[in-house]
Structure 1
Amino acid sequence: MPGQEGVEAHFITLERGHYTIRHRPGRDDDFFAEIYERLHPLASSRLVINNIFRTDLEPELWNGDEITEQISRAGKRLDAMNLLPAPFPVHEILTERELRHVKRLYGLGGLSYGNLSARKDRNRFWMSASGVNKAKLEVIGQDILLVSGFDPAIPAIILSVPPHVQPRRVSVDAIEHWMIYQQHPEIGAIVHVHAWMEGIRSTEINYPCGTIELAQAVSRLLAQEPDPSRAVIGLKNHGVTITGRSMDEIFERIEGKIIPQVPMS
């Protein structure tokens, strides 16, 4: 479309917000190559939003454990830090019809912001559900779920739930957390919030949330950190992914350092 400085291509995504590619006179090939570089990850990435629910959760975990208690406390702390609202007023930007389309497109039960997870054992971790009030994470299988596997053939996240509850879907970022825990066994907890911290490196990733490619990219970034188990990955125009040895340890590190508004550029 024509802009003040010539032809421009505008992109709007849930992850990156709005950004622009400007055409430079005589550089048509570069202009379209850059558009392709932006579109290709969006078009080719593999979204993992399917959930497989198995009623095989151990009875002693039906009411949670000390790890789910940490996650519940962490959700309340995020609320107290004013980090649960959206980084931008999506309900004011989209019409009801557009919002329904976004939810259907991404398989979302509702729009809530940020997610929390903590390792249960070598191959399993607890994680907040999609579209729930993070300040009130109480019911196992509905507010907090146990991720017990990943089936790449479908692809789908496998969840162990109690037999007596109607389960909710796990957070769309479950595949990212799954890959991080698998590749970094020293990591015990992960917090993702749509907020920022001073002095962190801003990384530009153009993959949608909930995709295998985004999960791989974040895991690679963690591998480059001096200590992947105590890292902060800043995703440009989106938020931060914070790792720790435990949920409580993460909050000890970030207390007073979080900026609620994500800087947009």
Structure 2
Amino acid sequence: MIYYKNDQEIELMRESALLVSKALTEVAIILKPGLTTLAIDKIIGEFIRDNKAIPSFLNYNGYPFNSCISVNDVVVHGFPNEQELKEGDIVSVDVGVIKNGWHGDHAYTFMIGKPADDVIQLVKITKESLYKGIEKAVAGNRLGDISFAIQEHTEKKHKYGVVRELVGHGLGRHLHEDPQVPNYGRRGTGPVLKEGLVLAIEPMINMGKKDVFTDSDGWTVRTADGKPSVHFEHDVCIKKGQADVLSNYSTIEAAEKANPNLFAEY
């Protein structure tokens, strides 16, 4: 069942999405070597509650944290822990909130210090692929057009691995709604995109092969070959002519550039 949102509902969703963006901006301000992902998760949870919202990941199907923080070879759903971050790490922070009954859910990958050049390139191309997908998220196109655009830029052009087991999704009163949004596929296939559909578009791209496995904790997804993986995600509303991006990276990027511990020149 695909749910379409009216203008009033979309504005409430924008409020939720922007709160996630603000939480990710808080992370960009403080991120540095020596910080633990558990400390970051605590800050995220407090920030969300201070803004009169609920961390939507906490207790979702038993998930025990406010956020998913995935380091290096962790693709998604990384458990925050006591391990200190270090120079050269890449850190994907995925946050969800419920505010006024509506979900926001998106992610950003940060680089601590200066990683290897091939890692920087993976971050750059994955972020580009997100916007390639968003360009196709307009009324009258098909869902497969989004999927194809992401796959073409990452796998076909740059020979990266596009994860198959994990996909983007619809978003609204529920964290995961129809339709699923794969990061691979054929253009001209899938349901026709209509105005009022809100999608969480989220390329998850591996430097090496596409294969992944899940840790014994039942959540943490890692690359099978141990190579890095990158994850970016925006909340996007289908419109005529041009998608309406409900989330906002600009404050995150400004904080990232202002933080001397982060690499943002890409």
User: Is TM > 0.5 for Structure 1 vs Structure 2?
Assistant: no
Normalization by structure 1: what TM-score?
0.25
Bigger Cα Rg: 1
